[in-house]
Amino acid sequence: MPVRSLFKLRMSSGKRRVVVTGLGAVCSLGNDIRSVWKKILDGKCGITHVKSPAFENVPVKIAAPVSKDSGFVSEEWLSKLKEKRVDTPEVLYSFAASSRALEDAKHENIQAKESAGVCIGSSILAINEVLAETKVISEKGPRRISSFVIPKVLLNTPAAIVSMQYGFQGPNLAPSTACSAGAHAIGEAFRLIRNGDTDVMVTGGTDAALISFIVAAFSRIKALTTKFNNNPEEASRPFDKLRSGFVMADGAATLILEEYNHAKARNAPMYAEILGYGLSGDAYHLTSPPDDARGAIRSMRSALRDANLTPEDICYVNAHATSTPVGDAVENYAIKKVFNDHARNIKVSSTKGSTGHLLGAAGALEAVFTTLAVHEGVAPPTLNLHEVSSKSEFNLNYVPNKCEELVVDKGKQRIALSNSFGFGGTNACLCIGEVQ
């Protein structure tokens, strides 16, 4: 469908347009989105050896941490917080990513605080605090427990802190849907703006689950790879023949979503437009997707339907693909079912080869990358993809190891899907296009 016709259709539907006006990220590759994006396009990897003594007896020895080596200094961001007593990594990461995104979006021009809200998702929050306070009550008794342990472990605390820091009085939400949480947060924020409930949303995801207890637990269910402990940069290999599990990562990512006319009136930058949002449930298994990929298929088709688009309008898919044998195969099957013959014309890549898997923040970080992909016309690479397991099954363009230009026909809009699938069979898909 021509761009002009799409625009008229959206306007006639009575639904408001929603654009992305700011981007921020904290991950193993850095905490400045421009440098992170450049490293992604250059094929850099943030996965490294875990040096902590706490991992001595854990079979996994690699991860993608946020650290001073990646440019993140916790003390710097804690000093900027108004509420310094809630100092968990999840809060600091989301605060830093949100602060960067708001700066990028020229937030000083956002005047109506009551029409600006926050929606930040996460999957596993402040487990270290729980373990520490469990030890305190065991050794010293209940009266010695920190009075701030409850605020630290509440799943909505990262969103609450950003809201308090900037005085945003609009909707304040915190989805917790495993590895789909960041994408669900963005999708729900998109709906709130589109439906007229608010004008601006700070949205994304945050997670800091890189502790020995959680890594050991994921290892126990064989979700993590242990085959590349001596070669961490090769460990996360979506769609590759030797993929054997995902690599844990920490971080956060934030997008500033804004109603189109509101953004235009204050001369805000516009990176992309959120066109649609789809979600579904597998109703199948706690940790495995069904072989027929029914939930993934429904979420993608729902996002396309919500955006009034057809599969032929899409040029790129940022896949959830975490580098697990089953998960990548099922998603690949779903993409081929949704796009049919057009599948050979699109580019499909997973940026987890570079970043590892940020759990509840993964969908948000990948939405940032998808936004930049359609904005700049370039598909980021799938790192460590050297050979697929079956050429008849994995026969799409997975953008192996080097970025590729996103080419569309003259007059067409660059439009992409960003997939996120979580434990419990919870699925989300975001449809993101360049601004026209």
Q: Which residues are catalytic, by number?
A: 179, 320, 357
In this structure, the number of other CB atoms found within 10 A of the CB of residue 392 comes to 6
- Show the 3-state SS of 59-99: CCCEEECCCHHHCCCHHHHHHHCCCCCCCCHHHHHHHHHHH
Helix, strand, coil percentages, rounded to 5, for the chain: 40, 20, 40
CA distances from 5 to 20, 117, 399 (A): 22, 31, 31
**Is the Cβ–Cβ distance between 16 and 264 less than 8 Å?**
no
Cα torsion through 170, 176, 180, 184, rounded to 10: -20
Structure tokens at 48: 């490294």
Q: Can you tell me the distance from the alpha carbon of 158 to that of 123, in angstroms, rounded to the nearest whole number?
A: 12
| CA 281 from centre of chain | 18
Residues 398-414 as b or e (16 or more Cβ within 10 Å = b): bbbeebeebebeeebbb
DSSP code of residue 130: H
Q: Quick check: helix, strand or coil at residue 237?
A: coil
Q: Can you tell me the distance from the alpha carbon of 149 to that of 96, in angstroms, rounded to the nearest whole number?
A: 22
Residue with tokens 């589109």: 194
Integer-rounded Cα Rg, in Å, for the chain is 20
CA distances from 138 to 127, 132, 151, 342, 389 (A): 17, 10, 21, 60, 50
